[in-house]
Amino acid sequence: AQKVTQAQTEISVVEKEDVTLDCVYETRDTTYYLFWYKQPPSGELVFLIRRNSFDEQNEISGRYSWNFQKSTSSFNFTITASQVVDSAVYFCALSEAYKAAGNKLTFGGGTRVLVKP
């Protein structure tokens, strides 16, 4: 069965510090997809990134970067020079490509990031 673990439940940083969110996943499939979502205090889910299991290139988007390491089953997320607007709950999720449940996302428990001014 697939599983996603986000060991950090809450991280508190001061503005401009970097913060790294850990995500470890388990799956028996060779083809799968990994996602990160942001949930700001307003409650909606904001899609940040999707990665397929065959693409281990790291990705950078502005202040956000992602490190995918298949060898350790990890898909970590770093916010560089954090800002108050980054305060949110961040979810890592996994989707297996060919399961009968179609496009089901298995989510981690989430990491709450609090950025203080």
Partner 1 sequence: EAQVTQNPRYLITVTGKKLTVTCSQNMNHEYMSWYRQDPGLGLRQIYYSMNVEVTDKGDVPEGYKVSRKEKRNFPLILESPSPNQTSLYFCASSLRPGGGYEQYFGPGTRLTVT
**Separation between Cα atoms, residue 11 and residue 18, nearest integer Å:** 11
If the CB atoms of residues 50 and 116 are measured against partner 1, the closer one turns out to be 50
Parallel/antiparallel/unpaired status of strands 24-26 and 3-5: antiparallel
Q: Which of 43, 61, 62, 85 binds partner 1 (CB under 8 A)?
A: 43
CA atoms within a 13 Å half-sphere pointing along the CA-CB vector of 80: 7
If the CB atoms of residues 14 and 54 are measured against partner 1, the closer one turns out to be 54
Q: Which of 30, 57, 61, 103 binds partner 1 (CB under 8 A)?
A: 103
Footprint on residues 65-94 left by partner 1 (CB under 8 A): 91, 93
Q: Are 21 and 41 in contact (CB under 8 A)?
A: no
Parallel/antiparallel/unpaired status of strands 10-14 and 111-116: parallel
Binding site for partner 1 (CB under 8 A): 4, 6, 9, 31-33, 43-45, 47, 50, 52, 91, 93, 95-105, 107-110
